[in-house]
Amino acid sequence: MIAIGSGLTLGREGPTVQIGGAVGDAVLRWLKVTERVRFILTSAGAGAGLAAAFNAPLSGLVFVLEEVRRDFQPIVFGAAFVAAVIADIIARIGSGQFPVFSVPSYSVPPLASLPLFALLGIVAGVRGVFFNRSLLTAMDIHAKIPSQLILPVAALIGGGVGLVGWFSPFLIGSGIYWQRLH
């Protein structure tokens, strides 16, 4: 709530996944189900949040199976599937049948540009590996921070991001405003 209230852009999926999981967990605690069932259905709630955010029930299902639970047990599959479909139906009732993203129609590039696309794929792959390694390194560094310094380090990082946003708001936004300028 603090992040959204202060104007940070979290995207559609972050808050809906968190809210879906939290609401599911609260209901399940109230119903006093077992821990195993609670974790399965909380995961399904998170997938339902993603499905509702993008009108994409299969995305919610795959998200639960690959990212949240990382197993393909029938109970997990069934719960995630039902939750994602119901969330998608409710989202479509509320916001309509139109897709979240509209993709413009582009002309097919000539076959001669295929080497450029191959080069673009290689560059994107190398940058992806660099990004993932940087992310893992940052997580390793974070894990080595003593517990008494976590709050000051978080405040320092938040202050740095705040300064960047103050002087160059385009660097911390979602990119939508930048797209509208061009």
pLDDT band at 117 (very low <50, low <70, confident <90, very high): very high
Q: Are residues 24 and 75 in the same domain?
A: yes
The answer on pLDDT for 23 being more than 60 is: yes
| 123 vs 164: which has the higher pLDDT | 123
Find tokens 């939750």 and name the residue: 83
Question: Would 58 be classed as within a structural domain?
Answer: yes
Task: Tell me if 100 sits within 8 A of 55, measured CB to CB.
Answer: yes
CA distances from 44 to 21, 47, 79 (A): 7, 5, 6
87-109: pLDDT as tens digits: 888 888 887 777 666 777 888 88
Q: Which domain holds residue 154?
A: 137-182
Number of domains in the chain: 2
Q: Are residues 6 and 84 in the same domain?
A: yes
Question: Would 105 be classed as within a structural domain?
Answer: no
> 40, 64, 95 — which closes off a domain?
95
The answer on pLDDT for 126 being more than 70 is: yes
pTM of the model: 0.55
25-72: pLDDT as tens digits: 888 888 888 878 878 888 888 888 888 887 888 888 888 887 776 667
100 DSSP 8-state letter: S
Q: Are residues 72 and 148 in the same domain?
A: no
**In the predicted model, what is the mean pLDDT of residues 115-135?**
94
Non-local (6+) Cβ contacts of 16 within 8 A are 49, 50, 52, 53
Question: Would 35 be classed as within a structural domain?
Answer: yes
| 28 vs 176: which has the higher pLDDT | 28
pLDDT band at 150 (very low <50, low <70, confident <90, very high): confident
Q: Are residues 6 and 91 in the same domain?
A: yes
